Structure 1
Amino acid sequence: MIDTGFAVITGRLYAPIPIGGEFDWTGGKVAAIEPSTDTDTDTDTDTGPYPVEFEGGGDSAIDPARQMLYITNFSGGTVSEINLETMELVRTRRVGDAPRSPVVDPGTHNVYTSDGLSHSISVIEPETSCR
């Protein structure tokens, strides 16, 4: 299953792959796929086909301009930020309880989550050190 938040950037498809339940992942990995050949672009056999892992998971969104993937962790109240250029987990940020439906503002690059159990909306501002 590929959840929302996959995108093609510079000819490569990036997709979060969940591990665990359909509505509340226990974790996941990110695949980088070359669409023209339908192959994974990671050739390092030590890391396998999915070189970056994250805890939790749920909904996701991509900021194509910054090449960042944001994945909500419903149970943990966090959002994982993954740099798609380096395929590394940049950080995990605390947001409200039960975050869902992240949305990226293409102008400001802020990420918004709907935090169901805390009845709030969280705003994640981009780091200046990131692209």
Structure 2
Amino acid sequence: MNITPAIIADFRQYFSGQYSSVTVWPDHIIEEVLCEADAETGGSGWGAFSLECNSFKRRGMYLFAAHWLEFFYGDNPANGVGGIARLNTQSKTVGDESIAYRVASMMDAGNDALTYTVYGQQFYRLRRRAGMGARVI
């Protein structure tokens, strides 16, 4: 799929303009994550992409792209992508004592990473729906 300027502009306004700043989020970064999102939503269960509000593939692509941006870049893409794996952790401090531990998960690492952002959680929900139903072999 060709990621056009119209798709980039549509994505920029999709989450109430959260990614609208071209200075903070340059087009090449948005294009890169949308290309990755297209690959993640390539199965037939997603349907065809369109800029219509009811496009299932559009929703999936945009949620995955937003997850990717938050997961890898955080609030500042100028700092680049860090190489440290992120895991769901919990910590507690009482006085001068603290403890941090990994929150147990029943998912593999690929799916568990989706739980790191609200966008990833919503994408995971949609991906499960995309995989439902009968398949013709």
> Which TM class, normalised by the smaller chain length?
under 0.3
Between Structure 1 and Structure 2, the one with more strand by share is 1
Point out the structure with max Rg over C-alpha. Answer: 2
Between Structure 1 and Structure 2, the one with more helix by share is 2
Give the alignment's TM-score, normalised by structure 1.
Answer: 0.27
Give the alignment's TM-score, normalised by structure 2.
Answer: 0.26
